[in-house]
């Protein structure tokens, strides 16, 4: 369809997607992209607000004939998950995302693409820049830190908005209209580390888990994919039976809301034990190959001698707490919906393991469409920490988004889709965190939906965006905006 990036970026949506891809925008590093959005709005003489959380709100008046239509809030987030393949040279703090086309798909080169949620930003900018698209008054809000804490949306001042009709552009499936989502919380488990001097006559070895698919901890949790942190816990527990070793480092995953694809443990072994450890690692490689043959057939474990910076090893007590924590912290699907077939109701993902000087930090992303079940997972996680003598915190809590059976905006989008495509759009709920719940809590009476094009393997370096679907969703979105003069103000 498009033979080159130069040709693709002639389309306004992909023009702006290419422009924002030049700006690093990992969660917590949004100042540059936020300032870019502010300049964009002010250059077009649009009312533009940047708040302390770096959220940006840009307002555009209604086009002629739409002055009496209700104001529409359009929302997405500017940050992205930063993951890269092993061996890929890329600094997410300063390097642009390098785009490439494969057939009908847009990829990045060895990194996450940032279509989640750069597509929303590109749609919004293309709409704000256009002078030939009919629409009601618009209030575009682009938030920060959605991928880590939803801190941007939580910090938004509701007094900035007149609208009560809300269109979120953070969905990932064409032909589907999202009307409900899960709430969530981040659970952080801190294992205190007491370090001891490394025994004499030992050498450093690294055990590496690779080849897992990973994925979004909400959208892909039902796929049963291997979690590298949990697998590393099992492996280290298995090795501890009869094999003396010391732990120097444990690290895995980069984001709590991404199923970790990789994990590493640096251990110390006496020379006579290294061969036995290699044999046991090979046994575990075969075990995981068998267990994950359907979900992660490329899983592998590597055992190699390394030269590690000496920082001592975990005491036996710290080692026990670390391995027990990896083994016992809840992970994966916790309950399925009894009302919507196939919908995950509650889950948790042990997404990050990070060794610091005095503690091992384990971060989990907890999700549920039922608040009491979300609280139950958090409580069970806290009990694990209490039993093991570890610290525990749960924060970045955000609300679920309940289904509204009387939604006017849903009905309008359903009608327009049927008119445009001759078939009904599928109305769905998802087990992912969507900012609609936060805005619904802040703006009483909010009528919200979410939509977006087909994108795949988000939160992984294999993330890719369907180009025709992106254009189709854009055209559907514009057709729906055109019909909004029929809504009651």
Do the Cβ atoms of 181 and 400 come closer than 8 Å? yes
Torsion of CA 111, 291, 287, 457, to 10 degrees: 0
Please say if 276 is a catalytic residue. no
Q: Quick one: which H or E segment has residue 119? A: helix 115-129
Q: How far apart are CA 29 and CA 50, in angstroms?
A: 15
Closest CA to 71 of 85, 61, 81: 61
290, exposed or middle or buried, with CB in 10 Å at 0-12, 13-18, 19+? exposed
Closest CA to 15 of 106, 137, 133: 106
Please say if 79 is a catalytic residue. yes
In 10 A of CB 162, how many CB atoms? 12
Q: How far apart are CA 456 and CA 473, in angstroms?
A: 16
Do the Cβ atoms of 136 and 72 come closer than 8 Å? yes
Distances (CA, A) of 12 to 102, 113, 314, 321: 20, 18, 55, 53
Tokens of 293: 């043959």
Do the Cβ atoms of 360 and 193 come closer than 8 Å? yes
Lookup result for tokens 């010391």: 246
DSSP calls for 32-55: HHHHHHHHHHHHTT-EEEE-TT--
- ω into 117 cis (within 30 of 0): yes
Catalytic residue among 83, 139, 146, 173: 146
Closest CA to 408 of 72, 48, 157: 72
R_g of the chain, CA atoms, integer Å: 24
Q: How far apart are CA 190 and CA 204, in angstroms?
A: 25
Distances (CA, A) of 112 to 446, 470, 474: 33, 17, 22
40, exposed or middle or buried, with CB in 10 Å at 0-12, 13-18, 19+? buried
Catalytic residue among 79, 262, 296, 463: 79
Active-site residue set: 79, 146
């Amino acid at each position: 369809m498009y033979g080159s990036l130069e040709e693709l970026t002639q389309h306004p949506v992909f023009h702006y997607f290419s422009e924002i891809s030049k700006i690093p925008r990992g969660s917590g590093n949004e100042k540059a992209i936020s300032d870019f959005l502010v300049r964009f709005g002010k250059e077009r003489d649009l009312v533009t607000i940047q708040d302390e959380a770096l959220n940006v709100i840009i307002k555009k008046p209604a086009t002629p004939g739409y002055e009496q239509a209700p104001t529409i809030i359009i929302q997405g987030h500017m940050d992205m998950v930063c993951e890269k393949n092993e061996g890929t040279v890329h600094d997410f703090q300063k390097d642009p995302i390098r785009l490439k086309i494969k057939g009908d798909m847009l990829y990045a080169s060895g990194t996450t693409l940032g279509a989640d949620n750069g597509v929303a930003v590109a749609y919004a900018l293309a709409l704000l820049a256009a002078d030939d698209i009919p629409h009601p008054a618009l209030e575009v809000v682009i938030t920060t830190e959605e991928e880590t804490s939803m801190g941007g949306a939580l910090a938004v001042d509701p007094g900035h908005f007149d609208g009560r009709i809300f269109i979120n552009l953070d969905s990932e499936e064409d032909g589907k209209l999202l009307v409900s989502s899960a709430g969530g919380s981040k659970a952080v488990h801190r294992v205190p580390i007491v370090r001891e001097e490394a025994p004499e006559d030992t050498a450093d070895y690294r055990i590496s888990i690779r080849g897992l698919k990973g994925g979004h901890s909400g959208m892909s949790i039902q796929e049963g994919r291997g979690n590298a942190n949990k697998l590393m816990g099992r492996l280290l527990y298995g090795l501890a039976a009869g094999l003396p070793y010391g732990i120097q480092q444990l690290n895995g995953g980069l984001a709590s809301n991404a199923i970790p694809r990789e994990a590493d443990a640096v251990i110390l072994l006496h020379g006579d034990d290294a061969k036995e450890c290699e044999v046991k690692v090979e046994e575990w490689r075969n075990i995981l190959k068998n267990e994950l043959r359907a979900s992660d057939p490329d899983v592998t474990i590597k055992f190699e001698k390394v030269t590690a910076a000496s920082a001592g090893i975990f005491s036996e007590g710290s080692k026990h707490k670390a391995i027990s924590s990896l083994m016992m912290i809840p992970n994966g699907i916790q309950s399925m919906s009894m009302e919507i077939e196939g919908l995950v109701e509650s889950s948790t993902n042990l997404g990050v393991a990070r060794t610091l000087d005095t503690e091992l930090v384990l971060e989990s992303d907890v999700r549920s469409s039922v608040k009491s079940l979300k609280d139950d997972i958090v409580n069970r996680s806290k009990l694990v920490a209490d039993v093991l003598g570890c610290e525990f915190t749960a924060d970045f809590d955000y609300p679920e988004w309940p289904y509204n059976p009387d939604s006017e905006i849903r009905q309008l989008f359903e009608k327009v889709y049927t008119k445009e495509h001759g078939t009904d759009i599928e109305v769905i709920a998802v087990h992912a965190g969507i900012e609609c719940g936060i805005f619904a809590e802040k703006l009483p009476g909010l009528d919200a939906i979410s939509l977006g094009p087909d994108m795949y393997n988000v939160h992984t370096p294999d993330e890719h965006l369907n180009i025709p679907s992106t254009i189709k969703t854009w055209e559907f979105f514009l057709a729906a905006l055109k019909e909004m003069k029929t809504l009651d103000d």
